[in-house]
Amino acid sequence: MKKQKSDILNCCKVQAIVPVDGRGQMVLPKEIREKADIKAGDKLAIVTGEQNGQVCLIALIKAEQLEETVESMLKVLGGQTRK
């Protein structure tokens, strides 16, 4: 079944609002880390989306899942597959 652009938006929701400290650091809440199976030492890729030259989306993806996740997102957004 082919996913539509709206499927990407339907999967997203606000899970938490976290403060950023003076050094630019923030804490991922425990519930989110557990649900995403993020553990100490894991590497996360930071993926951004821009609109009109401004970053409007910041996503964290486990590094080992990066290629698979990005390919899936591109298929949904562009309707094309990478060969």
Count of the separate structural domains present in the chain: 1
- Is the residue at 17 inside a domain? no
Percent of the chain scoring above 90 in pLDDT: 52
Ramachandran class of 8: left when φ > 0, alpha when ψ lies in -120 to 50, beta otherwise: alpha
- Is the residue at 61 inside a domain? yes
- Is the residue at 21 inside a domain? no
Mean pLDDT confidence for 49-58 = 92
Beta pairing class for 44-51 and 54-62: antiparallel
- Is the residue at 48 inside a domain? yes
Model-level pTM?
A: 0.64
pLDDT at 68: 85
Which residues does 19 contact at the CB level (< 8 Å), separation at least 6?
Answer: 26
Range of the domain at 50: 30-78
Q: Tokens 């309707």, residue?
A: 79
Mean pLDDT confidence for 8-22 = 85
- Is the residue at 37 inside a domain? yes
Mean pLDDT confidence for 29-48 = 94
